[in-house]
Structure 1
Amino acid sequence: MVDPVEQRGKGKTRWVFAGIVVLLVAFVWYRHSGSGNRHGMVAPQAVGVAKVVSGSMPEVLDELGTVTPVATVTVVPQLSGYLTQVAFTQGEDVTKGQFLAEIDPRPYQIQLEQFQATLAKDTAALAQARSDLARYELLARQQSIAEQQVSDQQFLVAQDIAAIQVDQSNIDTAKLDLIYCHITSPVAGRIGLRLVDPGNYVTAASATGIGVVTTIAPTTVIFSVAQNDLAPVLVRLGQGATLQATAYSSDDTTELEQGTLSAVDNQMNTSTGMVKLRADFANTDKQLFPNEFVNVHLLVNTLTNATLVPNPAIQTGSPGTYVYVVNADNTVSAQAVTTGPSDGTNTVITKGLTPGQTVVVDGVDRLSAGAKVMVIAASGAAATPADPPPEQHGHRHHRPANGPSGTATPAPAQP
């Protein structure tokens, strides 16, 4: 005898299974015969497009550099003695020849007076020797003394003359030492923290010095360029061009100063494949700080009448670098292209496209060659291309000095 409860359970299971089968059949029917494929064709893919345009593209090298002062001078005593005075304020701007510190001058003043006294004594001795020589020469003409005595006196006069020259040199040295007691700034710039306090005994052999003076304005920035990017720079310099260099903050967002490229190093670094370049900056507002890391944007050249497309249009894959071109029948085809410089928004196409063509910039990831597309629009205008990804600072890339030129614009919506 069949249990009624068990029979009801089996009947319920059959109804659930039947319902699942009906849902699966309905889903398959919808996918193959429903609104998505009502006429037996794949639905057009909605995409955003932009026109290929002709415009200008600055070729800019973005490199990491270091602010390097024109001169960094450690003020070192040139003689020994007690430091009696420090006249500068730490961190102030100083001029060339400005008084900074003083070493006790009294020992050197006493030494100068000793040399002056020795000079006076030797001068008197020379006068006496010359007087004796004159008498001896008179007696020699009268044949009253031997010629040897006259010669000896001539040698004595020469010795006294040499002694006076030594005395004068000693006096000049003592006077120079007195000048060295009065320490002045050798260059104009900004002096740092005081390294020695008054009252300390300093020596000429001290490597520490009293302070360090660094030039602030003008200044330079040293940065490195890869060997692959060096050739265009050398070509432009060979043409006599003045290349503009712009210094930006370490986060590459704030413009600090504009300058010009002044020098290229004479050899490549074999371990890195980089060569050093130097750019000069007036730095009148003193935004560039010594040894600060900055980003240098070097404007090498400006391409005119270049073929430009938005960056989102460019794809890479097994065919290489390519874009999807929208054809007249609203289908797309994959077009291989050769790219050039980029400014972060647009990229130069050197081969593969011509101005006026339409390329896909949005919805590219779901396309294939020959696919049917439908251009979407917002507020009666073509879809705006997607924003490019943020730049990775600290790497080399091309970017414009004063914003993009010849920006590609979206194509109008197709009916």
Structure 2
Amino acid sequence: MNYESSFGGDTITARSEDLYGSEVDGAARSGRRRNIIIAIVVLALLVAAGVYFFGGKPETAAGEGAKAGAGESESQAPAVTVIVPGSGSVERVINATGTLAARREMPIGIAGEGGQVIRVLVQPGDWVRTGQVLAIIDQDVQTQQARSLAAQIQVSQADAVLAQNELDRALQLVDRGFISKADVDRRRATRDAAVARVEVAKAQLREAQARNGRLSIRAPESGLVLERNVEPGQVVGGGSGVLFRMAAGGEMELRAQMGEADLAALSVGVRADVRPVGTDRTFSGRVWQVAPIINETSRQGVARIALGYDKALRPGGFASAAVISGSSQSPVLPESAVLSDDKGSYVYVINKDNKVERRNVTTGIVTPRGIAIATGISGKERVVLYAGGFLNPGETVRPQMQGKRG
């Protein structure tokens, strides 16, 4: 349809398509937009169908997405160092202190009638044998007495010989009637008395010799001389007291003071390591006696630990002992892994879901390796080693074995 118009003497002709072209163009654009949207929807449906048939089920994809989210969450969990302690032999050690002494101390004094000491043959610290002379006492008077008794034996023997000869002659004359049988009996009795006097004289000499032998002070047993309380020129007798003190066999002991509970856990024969004060040496011994009584005041008793001879062990000295009273199978944890609060001791373990769990435990003895755990864990758990105080039960963590990274 055409329209004509005059403007300033000129004629302008216009078509209806030119006048309404903008409305036609808007309708065309709307149609194209609708076609594009339909194409996008169709394409999305095709993609979804392809994923369904070729890429897995929607539930699987959703699960993988959830796992990815969980992995991202786990990666943000705090890392903790854990340890699996296992179970090993733990020795129960009782620490004690005490005084060193001779295991069997022998005080030695004068056994005879005594006298003046003329020589002392040993010093403290000397080793002596059984019967060895320790000191010599003057025996001049006793020696002369012994000689007199020896001479008396000879006199008695001469009288016995004379009495025997007279008896023999009397027996020859009695058959002839010159001597009566009564005279023979008297001579026989005289002979018997003379023989008896010989035996008495011999016994008296042996007695004197034995007394003289006891004048010398001798060691009753092999061992170590600990004390010497006599000097040459000193007059000694039965009331002189202890002249020497010895340790039989040189054996020493530690008389360790222990509480009632520790003594109850001890038994004869257990091993002990003894260290005297002033030395870094350790001597091995064994408990040979446990005191049958407890001191009512201190509530302690004595465990006697036998030790072999060594010059470094000085009676009267102070020493410490570590007594191995027994052993058991228990987990051992470092001190950093064992926590405590008003409810008692506990540890944190990591379960199979990497979550923190609290385990109440009963601690045992403290060893150089750590603290023995009597009850609460078996040793197969993953126990938090450090920073357990910053964790909470139920918290998710990333456990890392001790010595490993990643």
TM (norm. structure 2) is 0.65
Cα offset, 1:107, TM superposition: 0.6
Q: Which residue of 2 aligns with 1:67?
A: 100
Cα pair 1:53 1:309 within 8 Å, conserved: no
Give a deviation string over 1:126-176, Cα, whole Å, max 9, x none: 222222333344444555544444334333333333322221122112223
Distance 1:327 1:265, change over 3 A: closer
- Please list, as runs of the form range in 1=range in 2, the aligned pairs for 1:23-172 lying within 5 A after superposition: 50-77=83-110, 78-142=112-176, 144-172=178-206
Distance 1:230 1:196, change over 3 A: closer
Cα offset, 1:270, TM superposition: 7.3
Give a deviation string over 1:249-271, Cα, whole Å, max 9, x none: 348x934212344x345834474
Task: Check if 1:287 corresponds to 2:312.
Answer: yes
Task: Check if 1:307 corresponds to 2:331.
Answer: yes
Give a deviation string over 1:22-74, Cα, whole Å, max 9, x none: xxxxxxxxxxxxxxxxxxxxxx9998754433323223333334433244333
Q: Which residue of 2 aligns with 1:370?
A: 393
**Alpha-carbon distance between aligned partners in 1 of 2:353 and 2:170, rounded to the nearest angstrom:** 126
Distance 1:154 1:338, change over 3 A: farther
Cα pair 1:256 1:287 within 8 Å, conserved: no
**Alpha-carbon distance between aligned partners in 2 of 1:328 and 1:414, rounded to the nearest angstrom:** 19
Distance 1:279 1:208, change over 3 A: closer
Backbone CA RMSD of aligned residues? 4.0
Cα pair 2:96 2:322 within 8 Å, conserved: yes
**Alpha-carbon distance between aligned partners in 2 of 1:120 and 1:300, rounded to the nearest angstrom:** 70
Cα offset, 1:112, TM superposition: 0.7
State the secondary structure of the residue aligned to 1:53. coil
Distance 1:339 1:219, change over 3 A: same
**Alpha-carbon distance between aligned partners in 1 of 2:295 and 2:234, rounded to the nearest angstrom:** 47
TM (norm. structure 1) is 0.64
Cα pair 1:125 1:160 within 8 Å, conserved: yes
Distance 1:316 1:169, change over 3 A: farther
Amino acid aligned to 1:103: I
State the secondary structure of the residue aligned to 1:88. coil
Q: Which residue of 1 aligns with 2:370?
A: 346
Cα pair 2:104 2:251 within 8 Å, conserved: no
Cα pair 2:263 2:290 within 8 Å, conserved: no
Cα offset, 1:315, TM superposition: 4.2
- State the structure with bigger RCO (CA 8 A, min sep 6), 1 or 2: 1
Cα pair 2:356 2:397 within 8 Å, conserved: no
Give a deviation string over 1:159-215, Cα, whole Å, max 9, x none: 333322221122112223333344343344443454222222211332132x32335
**Alpha-carbon distance between aligned partners in 2 of 1:311 and 1:117, rounded to the nearest angstrom:** 88
Unaligned runs of 5+ in 2: 1-76
**Alpha-carbon distance between aligned partners in 2 of 1:249 and 1:91, rounded to the nearest angstrom:** 18
Cα pair 1:115 1:171 within 8 Å, conserved: yes
Amino acid aligned to 2:360: A
Q: Which residue of 1 aligns with 2:71?
A: none
State the secondary structure of the residue aligned to 1:160. helix
Q: Which residue of 2 aligns with 1:337?
A: 361
Amino acid aligned to 1:267: P
State the secondary structure of the residue aligned to 2:94. strand
Cα offset, 1:309, TM superposition: 1.6
Cα pair 1:45 1:371 within 8 Å, conserved: no
Cα pair 1:62 1:296 within 8 Å, conserved: yes
Task: Check if 1:322 corresponds to 2:356.
Answer: no
**Alpha-carbon distance between aligned partners in 2 of 1:254 and 1:119, rounded to the nearest angstrom:** 66
Q: Which residue of 244, 258, 263 maps to 2:271?
A: 244
Task: Check if 1:411 corresponds to 2:402.
Answer: yes
Larger radius of gyration: 2
Q: Which residue of 269, 283, 287 maps to 1:257?
A: 283
**Identity between Structure 1 and Structure 2 (%):** 22
- Please list, as runs of the form range in 1=range in 2, the aligned pairs for 1:193-272 lying within 5 A after superposition: 194-209=228-243, 211-215=244-248, 217-223=250-256, 228=261, 234=267, 243-250=270-277, 254-261=280-287, 263-265=288-290, 267-269=292-294, 271=296
- Please list, as runs of the form range in 1=range in 2, the aligned pairs for 1:160-199 lying within 5 A after superposition: 160-192=194-226, 194-199=228-233
Amino acid aligned to 1:256: T
Task: Check if 1:298 corresponds to 2:323.
Answer: yes
Cα offset, 1:108, TM superposition: 1.0
State the secondary structure of the residue aligned to 1:291. coil
**Alpha-carbon distance between aligned partners in 2 of 1:265 and 1:160, rounded to the nearest angstrom:** 63
Distance 1:266 1:69, change over 3 A: closer
Unaligned runs of 5+ in 1: 1-43, 377-381, 383-409
**Alpha-carbon distance between aligned partners in 1 of 2:290 and 2:172, rounded to the nearest angstrom:** 73
**Alpha-carbon distance between aligned partners in 2 of 1:243 and 1:187, rounded to the nearest angstrom:** 28
Distance 1:150 1:279, change over 3 A: farther
Higher helix share: 2
Cα offset, 1:226, TM superposition: 5.6
Amino acid aligned to 2:94: L
